[in-house]
Every structure is written in structure tokens, then in C-alpha cells.
């Protein structure tokens, strides 16, 4: 518990840095956010432009703008969207569940597929199967995710017509009963999750493989073999647990990649999550929404790291953090 509190406190400077960095990026880049409302419209006079900037506080000095924004950040109040004047917080939070659903499903299935592959490769090290799987994983690692998404859309969505290729709900979603709704959502999730699993498969299974190889070198594995246990028993009873432990950290560390990936997937699959909202906000220079999303995803990443460290510590008491 003390460690937990320490960890939280030590991440406050990072948190501040995150807010400062987003703020800097937004303000170093040329162009005012109100431009999109004024430049396109010939009728807007110079005075009206000034008034608009005053309304959003863009005429104040930078440090005051930052301080104001920081104050509101504590309440997750990112201001109102320039696009439809709705609070950015509401816009983001209503999209959050869809993104979390997609990422958790992706992470879950990645683990289910990657860990057994990695362990199998470690046990069968240097055989034909190990090498073959390694090559396949390498190809997966090099595939452009958006291209794979495109190919899957063509193949499974258009040619075979097996699964829907965009969105999260069918148009008649509201008329369905609860089971049909679940089935409908799952069907829409198949393609994005599959693409996400395939491109992140390599990292996790390589970690599982090298972790397993490391464990198999340990003395207690030799002891277990010496006791006369079969290979199966050694692997599943003794080696597996110790291989999975360090994986917890890797999963925590893969969160930024997952969030980063969702910007691409969600845009391609027209998935109603944070990623597509972020893309649209960036394209229309919707500052409050962009800053909200950037900060939120950075905070989520930070949180993921803390949780990973913590659960690792609980799972393996030998680990000590300073």
C-alpha cells in the first residue's frame, strides 16, 4: 500500500509533463482553433473574430491559458467542443466504453493465442515448427495494420459476406432483444479484433518464448526432471507460472501501442470509439477534444503501467522497487 501511494506521488510530475506537452504541441503549431469557424465564413468581421477568441480565452497570455486548463483538467473538464458546443468530456466519455471493449477483447485474444504459441516454440526450440512459426510471426509483425484491415474487409466482408465491415451496431439494433444485441456487437467486433490480434501477436509470443526459454534453464526445472516428472508436468506445473509472471508487465506496457493502434483501426472500420473521435477532432482542429483525448490516453497509459507494476509485485514478492 505504501508502495502504491509512493508510485502515485512519483507519477504526478509525469502527469504535469503530459499536460504541458499536449498544451505546447497545440500552441506551437500555427493557426488558431477559431480559424475554422471564421476563415471559412466571409461574413465574420475582424471584431467578431476577436470576440470569439476572447470567448475561448485565446487572447490571454499562454501561461494563464495553461493554468486555467490545468485547473479544469482536475475535473476532467476539457471545455466545449468547437464543432457542436457539447462538453468535450461528454463526447469523450460516451465513446470510451467502445474503445475499452475493443482493446480488452483484442488484448484478451492476443494473450490466448500468443502465449501458447510462444510456449510451444520454446519447448520445441529450433525444430522445424519453431522456425516456421517464427517466420509467420515475423510476417505478422511487418504487416501494415491498416492494409490488413482493408484486405479483411474485402475478403470476409465483401467477398464472403460473413461479417459486417464497419461500425459497432446494425441499423436495427434498437429493435433487437438483449441476446441478439450481444451477438450483433460481437459480429461487428470480429474484424477489428482479428486485425489487432494479428499485428500484436509477434511481440507477446516472442516474450513468452524467451521467457519460457529462460525458465527452462533454471535449476528447479532440472530438479523437476530429476524427480522423474514428465515433460508435460514440468512445463504446466512448474515452468508455466514463472513464465507468465513477467508477462503481466509486458501487457501493461503494450497499452500505449493498443491505444495508438485504435486510431487507425477505428478510423478504417468506422468504429464509434475514442480513436475515430480523435482523428476527426484532429482533422477539424477541435482543440478541447484533441487535448482531452491526448491527456486521457496518456493518463490511461500511466495507469496501465502502475497497475502492471503493482500486480507484478503482488504476484512475485521477490521483486523490490526503489
- Contact positions vs other proteins (CB under 8 A): 13-14, 17-18, 21, 25-26, 29-31, 138-139, 141-148, 150-151, 153-154, 158, 199-200, 202-203, 206-207, 210, 253-254, 256-257, 259-261, 263-264, 267-268, 278-279, 282-283, 285, 290, 293-294, 297-298, 301-302
Least distance from other proteins to the Cβ atom of residue 27, Å: 10
Shorter beta-carbon distance to other proteins: residue 105 or 253 = 253
The residue length of the chain stands at: 322
Shorter beta-carbon distance to other proteins: residue 201 or 239 = 201
Least distance from other proteins to the Cβ atom of residue 223, Å: 25
User: At how many degrees (to 10) do helices 287-315 and 274-283 cross?
Assistant: 150
Angstrom distance (rounded) from CA 312 to CA 315: 5
Q: For 71-122, what is the HEC assignment?
A: HHHCCCCCCECCCCCCEHHHHHHHHHHHHHHHHHHHHHHHHHHHHHHHHHHH
Shorter beta-carbon distance to other proteins: residue 27 or 60 = 27
Least distance from other proteins to the Cβ atom of residue 77, Å: 21
Shorter beta-carbon distance to other proteins: residue 31 or 228 = 31
Angstrom distance (rounded) from CA 216 to CA 224: 11
Least distance from other proteins to the Cβ atom of residue 299, Å: 8
Rounded to a whole number of angstroms, the CA Rg of the chain reads 24
Least distance from other proteins to the Cβ atom of residue 239, Å: 18
Shorter beta-carbon distance to other proteins: residue 48 or 283 = 283
- Cβ atoms < 10 Å from Cβ of 321: 10
* Dihedrals phi, psi of 87, to nearest 5 degrees: -60, 135
Shorter beta-carbon distance to other proteins: residue 91 or 224 = 91
Least distance from other proteins to the Cβ atom of residue 174, Å: 28
C-alpha cell, 124: 520445441
Q: For 285-303, what is the HEC assignment?
A: CCHHHHHHHHHHHHHHHHH
Amino acid at each position: 500500500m505504501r508502495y502504491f501511494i509512493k508510485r502515485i506521488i512519483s507519477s504526478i510530475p509525469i502527469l504535469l509533463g503530459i499536460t504541458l506537452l499536449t498544451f505546447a504541441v497545440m500552441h506551437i503549431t500555427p493557426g488558431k482553433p477559431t480559424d475554422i469557424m471564421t476563415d471559412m465564413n466571409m461574413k465574420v468581421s475582424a471584431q467578431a473574430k476577436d470576440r470569439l477568441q476572447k470567448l475561448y480565452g485565446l487572447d490571454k497570455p499562454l501561461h494563464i491559458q495553461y493554468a486555467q486548463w490545468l485547473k479544469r483538467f482536475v475535473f476532467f473538464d476539457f471545455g466545449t467542443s468547437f464543432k457542436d458546443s457539447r462538453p468535450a468530456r461528454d463526447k469523450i466519455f460516451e465513446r470510451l466504453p467502445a474503445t475499452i471493449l475493443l482493446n480488452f477483447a483484442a488484448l484478451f485474444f492476443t494473450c490466448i493465442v500468443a502465449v501458447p504459441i510462444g510456449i510451444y516454440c520454446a519447448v520445441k526450440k529450433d525444430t522445424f515448427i519453431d522456425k516456421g512459426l517464427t517466420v509467420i510471426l515475423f510476417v505478422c509483425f511487418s504487416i501494415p495494420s491498416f492494409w490488413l484491415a482493408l484486405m479483411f474487409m474485402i475478403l470476409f466482408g465483401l467477398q464472403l459476406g460473413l461479417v459486417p465491415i464497419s461500425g459497432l451496431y446494425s441499423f436495427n439494433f434498437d429493435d433487437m432483444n438483449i441476446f441478439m444485441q450481444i451477438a450483433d456487437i460481437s459480429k461487428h467486433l470480429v474484424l477489428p479484433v482479428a486485425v489487432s490480434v494479428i499485428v500484436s501477436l509477434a511481440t507477446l509470443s516472442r516474450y513468452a518464448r524467451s521467457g519460457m526459454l529462460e525458465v527452462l534453464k533454471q535449476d528447479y526445472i532440472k530438479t523437476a526432471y530429476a524427480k522423474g516428472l514428465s515433460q508435460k508436468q514440468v512445463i504446466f506445473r512448474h515452468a508455466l507460472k514463472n513464465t507468465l509472471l513477467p508477462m503481466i508487465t509486458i501487457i501493461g506496457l503494450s497499452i500505449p501501442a493498443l491505444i495508438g493502434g485504435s486510431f487507425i483501426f477505428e478510423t478504417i472500420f468506422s468504429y464509434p470509439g475514442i480513436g475515430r473521435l480523435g482523428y476527426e477532432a484532429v482533422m477539424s482542429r477541435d482543440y478541447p477534444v484533441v487535448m482531452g483525448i491526448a491527456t486521457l490516453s496518456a493518463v490511461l497509459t500511466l495507469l496501465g503501467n502502475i497497475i502492471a507494476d503493482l500486480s507484478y509485485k503482488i504476484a512475485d514478492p521477490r521483486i523490490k522497487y526503489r
